[in-house]
Chain A
């Protein structure tokens, strides 16, 4: 099972940031305080949606056909994610 990257603190629901990165090849560790990229701050389902949108060359119609949903449903999902990312940016 692929572990999910947590993005929200389970204790206070604040945004998590990266404080340590390690190299699996030579065991070098890098410490600091790195905020997660915007795309990693949204849920896995939303990330997958954006990836599918990209792979479908930005065609909502094709996405609707593939997902088995109506065009407005897919468009609304995209608009909600755009709103979420705008909120994260601001």
Chain B
């Protein structure tokens, strides 16, 4: 069961993965709308006060285009037999944990926590956090870290299977590509939204 959550790419066909990816993306859009979360990066989501469905779809579209192109080009460099459908299913499946993270913004929980922390920083009171505030912060941090590790694991495992990745040099390039895609996503999405 754990293997399916971390590496479904070994067993399942690209068609099945793509269908699951598409369904997950649709659910992700609605989760983003329901819990006011925007997917402005490849690896993360940010809670906001309010968001429209157009903004969510746009941010996801930009995400997929950027990470898809970067990973596909890297994939072709590593292994000319890399197929785009395998890269696409990887990035769609890897986004699933991020969609789940939107639930932390239930009734604006995560967004308001961010505002409280921001206020404490501005007032230079970061060493004077209440137990409740600290507990909320720790909870969100732990959940965010779990999602981050899970997303990166899925991306890596999917990309490894799609390209038959072996050398540490290529793993390093994969890491650089993810960071590059994250930076480009943030810049483009924040510029147009």
Which of A73, A79, A80 has the most chain B CB within a 10 Å cutoff? A73
Nearest residue (CB) in B for A77 is B164
Q: Is A89 an interface residue (CB 8 A)?
A: no
Nearest residue (CB) in B for A79 is B164
Main SS at interface, chain A:
helix
Main SS at interface, chain B:
loop
B13 lies within 8 A of A76 (CB): no
Residues of B within 8 A of A69 (CB): 10-11
Interface size class on chain A is: 10 to 19
B13 lies within 8 A of A70 (CB): yes
A75 lies within 8 A of B14 (CB): no
Residue from A68, A72, A79, A80 within 8 A of B161 (CB atoms): A72
A73 lies within 8 A of B10 (CB): yes
Nearest Cβ on chain A to B8's Cβ, whole angstroms: 9
Q: Is A64 an interface residue (CB 8 A)?
A: yes
Q: Which residues of B contact A (CB under 8 A)?
A: 9-14, 17, 79, 81, 83, 86, 161-162, 164
Besides the known contacts A70-B161, A71-B14, A75-B81, 14 further A-B residue pairs in the complex with CB atoms under 8 A apart:
A64-B13, A70-B11, A70-B13, A70-B14, A71-B13, A72-B9, A72-B162, A72-B164, A73-B9, A73-B10, A76-B161, A76-B164, A79-B79, A80-B164
